Chains A and B, each alone.
Chain A
Amino acid sequence: EPEVTQTPSHQVTQMGQEVILRCVPISNHLYFYWYRQILGQKVEFLVSFYNNEISEKSEIFDDQFSVERPDGSNFTLKIRSTKLEDSAMYFCASSEAPGQGGEQYFGPGTRLTVT
């Protein structure tokens, strides 16, 4: 069964460093998403991406964040200068379409720890 994959599973970085989190969405999906969950809190939406551009983003997704689909398979989230409060589990998701039946399939997450 096709699945969303994410690498790495755990990333430890120092404050101020850049990190890139990688995702391989399901191959025939067209819509891609990043969410995150800070420990003990709700899963929060960061950004959605379609047709090589951002379609929606939350207040969390500020200038420190960017997304890219560098080739036909990968979807990346970059954090330019990490802060302690960026420590969270980051989930990638993909869907065929966001219409009423648009199920979003999630990857297993990357745990980012900023020290």
Chain B
Amino acid sequence: ILNVEQSPQSLHVQEGDSTNFTCSFPSSNFYALHWYRWETAKSPEALFVMTLNGDEKKKGRISATLNTKEGYSYLYIKGSQPEDSATYLCAFRGSQGNLIFGKGTKLSVKP
């Protein structure tokens, strides 16, 4: 059974803090690792699709790294803002195209 784990489950930070969370996934049959940002009552928003070992991607204050050999990805948020409050989901994609999700990390940023 393919399993994707995310940690921590939830995180409370102050505005301006930088933070990071982890996604671990199977290191075999890897095709891609997806990160999504999901606010309640909205569509999960695609942040990154990462495919190559050593990939680093950046979107504004958010960046992500990928290690396919050991099966983990980190998501970093620099200088957190209240609008960054959301659940961050990672999903592993193997050869079949469907996504296998972690449970998510719920981030709360206090002003």
Contact = CB atoms under 8 A, between A and B. Distances in A.
B59 to A, nearest CB: 13
A100 B32 contact: yes
| Interface footprint category on A | 20 to 34
B31 A103 contact: no
B38 to A, nearest CB: 8
Contacts of A33: 98-99
Interface stretch (B11-19, B21-29, B72-80, B100-108): B100-108
Nearest to A93: B99
Interface of A: 3-4, 31, 33, 35, 41-45, 48, 55-56, 58, 91, 98, 100-109
Given A48-B96, A104-B46, 17 more contacts: A33-B99, A41-B103, A42-B104, A43-B89, A43-B91, A43-B101, A45-B100, A48-B97, A56-B97, A101-B49, A102-B32, A102-B49, A104-B34, A105-B46, A107-B43, A108-B43, A109-B43
